[in-house]
Amino acid sequence: SSENSSPPTMQKPPITLSSLTKSSGTESQSVLTWTTPTVASETGGSAITGYNLQYQLSGTWTDLIADSLVTTYTHTGLSSGTEYAYRYRAKNVHGWSSYTTSSSFTACSSPSKPSAITSIVAVNDGDIQITWANPTNIGGTSLTITSYELQVKHDNGVYADASSYCQEGSLTLRQCTITKANLVTNYVLAVGDLVIAKVRAKNSKNLWSEWSDANTQGARIPDVPAKMATPVVTDAGLKLRITWTEPNFNYAPITAYKISIWNNDAGPAAWAIDTTNCDGTNAQVISNKYCEVPIATPLIATYGYTAGNNIKVKVEAQNGLGWGTASDDCTTGAVITKVPEKPANVPTKVAAKTSGTTIVIDITALTGANAGNSAITQYNVKYVKDSDAAVLMTTQGLSTEITLTGATLGSSYTFTYAGVNVHGEGTYSDASASIKAVELPAAPTALSCAYDSTVNIKFSWTAATDGSGTLSANKIYIKDINGNYVLADTLGAVTEKIIPMTTLAAAPYSLSTVGETVYFKLQASNELEYGPLTAATSCGGSVTMKTVPSTPTIAPTITSSSETSISVSYTAITSTGGSAITAYVLQKATGNGEFENLADSMLTSQTLSSGIVSGQTYKFRYAAKNALGTSGNSPEVTIKAIIVPSTPSAPAVSTSDGSVIVDWTAPYSGGTGISITQYQILFYIGGSWVEKSFCDGTNMNAISETKCTFLMNQLTLSYGADIKAKIKAKNEKGWSIESSENSPPPIMQTPPITLSSLARGTGTSESQIHLTWTTPIVAAETGGSFVTGYNLQYQLSGTWTNAFQDALTNTYTVTGLSSGQDYQFKYRAKNIHGWGSFSSAQTFTACQAPSKPATVVFTVVASNANVELSWSAPSSIGGSGLTISAYQIVIKNNQALFQSLTSTLCSEGNFNLRKCTLTQAQLTSTFGLTTGKKVYAQVRAQNSKSMWSEYSDVNTQEVKIAAVPLKPNVAPYKTAGTSTSITLNWNTLPAYRNGGVTIDKYKLEISTDGSSYSTIYDAMGTSYQKTGLTTGTKYYFRYFSHNCLGYSASSSPVITYYAADVPATILTAAMSMAYAGSKTKDVEMSWTAPATQGSAISEYKVKVKISTGDFMDVTQECEEYEESLTELKCTIPMKNLWASPFLLTTPGVPIEFKVQAKNGIGWGTLSSAKSGVNLQTKPQKPTSTPTNDAASTTFEQIKVDWTAISASPANGDSAVTQYVLSVGSLLNVYQGSATTHTMTSGLTPGHDYQFRYAAENKYGVGEFSDAITIQCPTTSPTQPSAPTTVRDGENIKVCWNAPSSTGGASIVEYQVEFLDYSDSTYKSHSTNCVEPDINSRCCSIPETTVKSFFNLATNNEVKARITAINEDGHESNPSDPTTSGVRVNQQFPLLTYLFMQKLSIQKK
């Protein structure tokens, strides 16, 4: 046949599969993935329905996936570093494909993330060396790190590869050195930038680690040192110290300094380095940052400095990158010093101190450059005598005044000196002027004088002896008008002098008196000084003074003047100076202009009218002439072309605040530009107008303000006088006419005028005097102004003392006085005008009124009702030496006024005996007091200083004018009775109702009908029993009171009683008590009714004995109170008796009660106490605490026992039903009848627990006992988890976790043991890991030690285990040993540990 069309395509099992890949993994697992084929040529034309994955370790293939449609699988439980072969196949509906070619993968991971770069330091010339450490985990056993990649952070923040820039070192050696140039060029890092790098590692399985963290510290890009600051040069004795500050070394340490000194003799680039004194490579110089150059060095020819020059230096620094910029030149600071210069000045003689054989010279101190720019330590002085050799004076020091003693008279001396400093002695000065050793010359002799022509005097003398020297000068002294000798001239070695008489007549001699004798003295000098003065010599009577006319002493007189003319006259001169007057010269000056001569004539008056200008000032003076010349000018007279001021208007006078104000208006001044120069203010005082300095019209303020203000008290006017004033004005011309007086005038006020007398105040005592006075208010007393203060004074023996100086008070107490002493007092007052006069002195005694007497005591005489008054002397008489001189008694009369009692009224006694008896009639007739009125009296005492005490207090003792008693206002009352008798009592009549006299008896009356009464009692008593009465009969009773004046009315109201009695007493035999109620927790008290005694019982009262021993009424506490009256019982809950007010708390004590009955007559007698049951309570607080059964107590349970409570009173007198146990705040952890309990839950070893217990009876749970604290015993810590081991450099580091439980006590020790492979036992090392840190829980032991001590062979795993020990000595079980730990002689055993930690973290 033909073939089938559209033939189907052949399908087969899967044909082509992708290779297996390992997508990730660790040292114990690998994650395998593959791709699902989708192309038909791969799938065999049918969808994949499953995969079979196998692995091979050593020859045998093992299924990992038998048949599952997944494309990834995680193979776990692998051995670190071991290579595993894998293959897989796929299936579809047609079956399984062939296995893929096997792929091998190692059980490993990427290396662990390297730690941050360990070191980045600058080396060489700025290169940066970067060092890092191996990762702690290489990724798997037997793997190695094959490569590192290093990156450095670019300036733009991006990390870039740096591996290719390593100039030194090797990535495999974990070190790389990069040049500064590469860092600057390729990473754009600037000086000071921190070099930041990170690194990652690749292992032999081509797995890269994460990048390490970037470093945060390390090297920065270095540079040469910065420019240095200008150095400082200071003086260090004979050296100059050059000091500098370390510059910014730009991240490379300073290695050297270069100290350059400028050479003054060389060209502009002549810097020299003093390597001898300033070696900048010297470590000490580098450290000190200074060097010292001997001062001599800069002075040598090498540098060319001279003294006083500032040394010029600069400094630069070097580090590993080279030299930095040199500092600016130092041109200031210490200067070059040397020996002192030659002094510019020569020594000079101190003339005042040089004489005879002593020569004193002065030298000029050397400073600055003259001193060689160094401090002078002393001066050396030499002298030359005549032409002898120079002699160095022995006295040397810093004094600039030099003394030579023992000089030879007549010899000449010259002196030179030099300064000395640290460098030595300087050059000596030039020699001083020659100084001759001489004595003073003698005085000239043979003095005489004669006229030389008509106007001169010639003085002559003989030369003095020279004193071993050469006479050089003479001085002539003339005696002046005051008797003093004035130097007239200093002459050469001459013997005469001519002086014009006009010179002698002028200052300073002023010998202007004609005929006056001229006296003179002389004095000669030589090289030393001037000798002594001659004695005074008179020119004698033949040679006397002639002078020009005397200077007129009187100014010209202005005889008249106006605004247009001035008349001047002057006095002829009589003192002609010994020569006739030839003319007078009158001079005039306008304003401040120059004087001009008006005329030379013998006239002595002139009138000037031409050129006189109103208001213009003119001056006039004159002089006289004779043949010898013109006299001095007379005093000037100044006049203005003016008139006197116009008459002022009347002033205005006012007063304010103690001042007087006088106001006025300035009048016309009298001329153009003329001012009033003065006012005169006149006051009308004592009948005349007077001027007062306190209103000074010359005062500039008064002139300018036309006002004068002064204190009113400056006027010597009396109070109320008119203050009147007038004004006059004055200018340069003179005074105006007086103004009229002011109107109306103000009234004069003065200091206070009249004061009241001082009065003794109430505060006066034996040690103080209290004074008061009245403040004056009337103007005539106050002086017209309010009083503002007082001054009080007192005296004892002649001296007045201020009690107070100035205070506004009208009372004052002077303290510290002597009792009974007399003192004088005066006072004064002040107001705004000042102090008034003192008041007249008054005498007061330092005493006080007698003390207030005690209240008058009244006694009513019972027999006659007379009233007796008595009183006591006051406790204080008022002062030493005083006596009581009188008493005064006052009695309140019927007008309610106190009226004086005279002693003559006393029927008995007298005032001196402090006793007085008054009859009823006297009280009625004298004081108008009627029957029943109360008698009130007061007494006061007077002492010998006539001072009365206060009246005593009015008596509170109630005394009345006697009468018969008032009727009793309370009826008699029955206190006892039977069916045939009644006992009555009545109240004692109150004193206020006794009529004022003592009650002496009472009368009792009885009636059966209320109208007819008979007396049954009349005596002094308040009780009576009436017997023989008829039972049931009603009786009426009343009573009366009686005093010496008679009976009162009958009592009211009248009382009635029946002949009956209260119920009989209930006998205890008729009483009973029992427990009752629910659970017998109540107390039931019952009784039998008593005999009624003729009246039905209406009520019962039940009383129970309480804690105080008293019986308290509990009737209202009875349950079913109403029923208790008929059922004759009372039931009370027992618990009520525990509370207030009963407070019965002692169990086992009998409960007692009493009962009484009441009928129409009243309450019967309370029964005797009856008991029948005891008080019951909750159990009492146990006296003992629970006890710990230590033998049965473990860390898992605590057993406590307690004492059973069975006896009273501990059990509350009621059987205990169960016990309650509490632990801490947990109540009722146990309830039951047992006396022991074991607690097994909620316990923590080492914790404290507080146990207490209480008993419970039918009333409830009693008070808990005191607590006992029991500690849950500690136990062994729980087994620690297996420790881990990691390689830490050359050591094996063992770490472990704390046990989950410490066993109740702190862990104080861990015991670390290692497996000894020789005998398979665990042992501790003797020194390593013996006392590991309990906080870090890690310790290290050298790998070599582990291997040798515990007998490990290569590749043996280090196995350790841990035992925890707590502070109570409990040891845990040893932990499981380490698994997957470090193997000896393997490089990276830590990877397994890290992998396990990662799994643990993921699990958590």
pLDDT at residue 266 tops 60: no
SS3 705: helix
Residue in the structure block whose two tokens are 């009624």: 1092
Each residue of 691-727: pLDDT tens digit? 998 999 999 998 899 999 998 888 888 888 999 999 9
Whether this prediction's pTM lies above 0.75 is answered by no
**Predicted confidence (pLDDT) per residue in 860-904, tens digit:** 787 788 888 899 999 888 888 888 988 889 998 888 888 888 888
How far is it, in rounded angstroms, from Cα 707 to Cα 677?
Answer: 14
994-1019 confidence digits (pLDDT tens) = 877 888 899 999 998 888 999 999 99
Q: What is the pLDDT of residue 1221?
A: 92
Q: How confident is the model at residue 9 (pLDDT cuts 50, 70, 90)?
A: confident
pLDDT in tens, 30-72: 999 999 898 888 888 899 999 999 999 888 899 999 999 899 9
Assess whether pLDDT exceeds 90 at residue 1321.
yes
Range with lowest mean pLDDT among 1008-1017, 1186-1195, 1220-1229, 1272-1281: 1220-1229
Tally of CB atoms within 10 A around 457: 24
- Torsions phi, psi for 400 (to 5 deg): -100, 10
Q: Band of the pLDDT at 1396, cuts 50, 70, 90?
A: very low
Across 1020-1058, the runs of DSSP E, i.e. the strands, are 1023-1026, 1034-1043, 1046-1047, 1055-1058
- Using the CB atoms, write b or e for 1186-1209: b if 16+ within 10 Å: bebbeeebebeebbbebbebeebb
Mean pLDDT of the region 574-596: 85
Which two tokens mark 273? 């380095």
pLDDT at 752 over 50: yes
The predicted pLDDT at position 1201 comes to 94
Element (H, E) at 42: helix 40-43
Q: How far is CA 370 from CA 297, 337, 424, 427, in A?
A: 21, 10, 14, 11
Q: Is the pLDDT of residue 976 over 90?
A: no
- Examine the pLDDT at 395 and tell me if it is beyond 80: no
Percent of all residues in the chain with a pLDDT value above 70, rounded to a whole number: 97
State the pLDDT confidence band at 1388, using cuts at 50, 70 and 90.
very low
Compute the distance between CA of residue 622 and CA of residue 611 in angstroms, rounded to an integer. Answer: 20
CA distance 349 to 415: 10
- Burial label for 10, CB within 10 Å (0-12, 13-18, 19+), is exposed
Cα separation, 214 vs 152, whole angstroms = 9
How far is the C-alpha of 1404 from the C-alpha of 1399, rounded, in Å?
9
Closest CA to 163 of 114, 194, 201: 201
Q: Region 269-295: what's the mean pLDDT?
A: 85
Q: Average pLDDT of 237-256? A: 87
**What's the pLDDT at 1392?**
46
Distance in angstroms (rounded) separating the CA atoms of residues 1236 and 1234: 6
| pLDDT over 60 at 1387, yes or no | no
CA angle 157, 161, 164 (to 5 degrees): 145
Please report, rounded to a whole number, the percentage of residues in the chain having pLDDT higher than 90. 30
3-state secondary structure of 165: helix
How confident is the model over 130-137, as a mean pLDDT? 88
Out of 120-129, 912-921, 941-950, which region has the weakest mean confidence (pLDDT)? 120-129
What digits encode the pLDDT tens for the residues 461-517? 988 888 778 888 899 999 999 989 999 899 888 889 999 888 888 899 888 788 888
Q: Which is nearest to 601 in space by CA: 570, 575, 576, 632?
A: 570
662 is written with which tokens? Answer: 């006088």
pLDDT of residue 1404: 44
Give me the pLDDT at residue 1360, please: 93
Mean pLDDT score of the chain: 87
* Rounded CA separation 753/782 (Å): 6
Query: Could you give the CA distance from residue 35 to residue 678 in angstroms, rounded to a whole number?
Result: 135
Max distance between CA atoms of the chain, in angstroms, equals 207
For residue 1401, is pLDDT > 60?
no
